[in-house]
Amino acid sequence: MGSVKDLIVLASPLEDVAGKGKFLFSDRYSVFDWGEMPDHIPHKGESLCLIGAHFFEKLEKMGMKTHYLGLEEEGKIKRLSELKSPSSVMVVQLFRVIVPSQIQGYYDYGLYQDVRGNFLLPFEFIYRHALPEESSFLRRLREGKITLAEYGLEEMPEAGKPLSSPILDVSTKLEEQDRYLTWGEVLQFGIISSEEAAQIKDLLRNVGNFIAREVQRIGLTNEDGKIELAMDGNRNLVLVDVLGTPDECRFTYQGFEVSKEVARSFYRKTSWYEEVKKAKTERSTGWKGLVKSVPPPLPSSLLDLISFLYQRIAMDLTNREWFPGVPSLEEIVDKMKRLI
């Protein structure tokens, strides 16, 4: 399926009927759209699976539709509370993935014009509760690519400060390199109506606020995050993929990044990253072919701490000690600070 999890299709989705499949969460990870990185992070797959299940089950109780059907253990589909040990297999509904055609480097979304339901929306929907100094949103504002008015803002947001209300953003999902869009551009594709866009914004805001409250009780701050959505056969919005994890969200602990940003911070200091950055500015598609070096492995001490981080967040959120011998969040972060 991708660089970090695999998919087993049990029943393919049709035009009017959802399919069924299994996500196999792996210990692989990816940064900067590169794909699989050289290291595997022990217990990452199980941790992400448990965190995702936790949020799906909570959001379902709040009345939100999700594609989550349960976790697999001993050949049975179970709820999180029924598991005897960590699972890395999530059973889900599947929706059609309609890949936009590419014509001379541009993506054509015309295929969606006659699609009614049972399909993945080809976007990632992003909520922002705060903007770090290196925020892509601030950069786009400064470069004049977007305006304050488009996002209901009256003045330039201050980096690092909590926002009074979340900024709701959107990017492409199925292109080789993710591309930010304005909500006006999204509507121009003709895939969703203005009423459906308003529903998406409400859902995005509610999910983001819930994730922020949940992680706050374990000492984390949710700076931003993303969700993915599908339309079911009746054009109801359905939460899909996975959400609320350190891979989908930017979490901080007392101001220190504890999401996948830890690995990004290490790689930003490498010559490989400089090549990636340069290649992306030169090409929107096929940019990987310009990168001649390969990413170096993470130092073993940092790899261990990242592994502990995933496990600890999963255990603190679900209130179960799935993985023995893992230090507290405070201890993990303290050691990371000294390394980085």
pLDDT tens per residue across span 159-215: 989 999 999 999 999 988 889 999 999 999 999 999 999 999 999 999 999 999 999
Q: What is 5-339's CATH number, 3.40.50.800, 3.90.1150.10, 3.30.470.20, 3.40.50.300? A: 3.30.470.20
Measure the CA dihedral 172/189/169/14, to 10°: -60
User: Which conformational region is residue 61 in: left (phi greater than 0), alpha (psi within -120 to 50 degrees), or beta?
Assistant: alpha
Q: 260, 31 in Cβ contact below 8 A?
A: yes
Whether pTM exceeds 0.85: yes
Backbone angles phi, psi at 144, to 5 degrees: 80, 15
The helix (run of H) or strand (run of E) holding residue 241 is: none
**Sole residue written with tokens 């989705």:** 13
Give, for all 340 residues of the chain, the pLDDT tens digit: 567 899 999 999 999 899 999 999 999 999 998 989 999 999 999 999 999 999 999 999 999 999 999 999 999 999 999 999 999 999 999 999 999 988 877 899 999 988 999 999 999 999 999 998 888 899 999 999 999 998 989 899 999 899 999 999 999 999 888 899 999 999 999 999 999 999 999 999 999 999 999 999 999 999 999 999 999 999 999 999 999 999 999 999 999 989 788 898 899 999 999 999 999 999 877 899 999 999 999 999 999 999 999 999 999 999 999 999 999 999 999 999 988 7
Number of H helices, E strands in the chain: 8, 15
Measured over the CA atoms of residue 213, residue 214, residue 217 and residue 220, the dihedral's sign is negative
Which residues are 227's β-sheet partners? 125
Q: 329, 253 in Cβ contact below 8 A?
A: yes
Helices 300-318 + 44-61 axis angle, to 10 = 30
Q: Where are the domains of the chain?
A: 5-339
Write the CA distances from 141 to 109, 150, 182, 301, integer angstroms.
26, 11, 12, 38
- Side chain identity at residue 99, one-letter code: V
Nearest to 279 by CA among 267, 290, 293, 294: 290
CA 67 – CA 83 distance, rounded (Å): 19
Measure the CA dihedral 44/45/48/49, to 10°: -150
CA 340 – CA 329 distance, rounded (Å): 16
- Side chain identity at residue 60, one-letter code: E
156: tokens are: 């330039």
118: Cβ contacts below 8 Å, ≥ 6 apart: 13, 14, 15, 16, 17, 18, 95, 96, 230, 231, 232, 233
Helices 194-216 + 44-61 axis angle, to 10 = 120
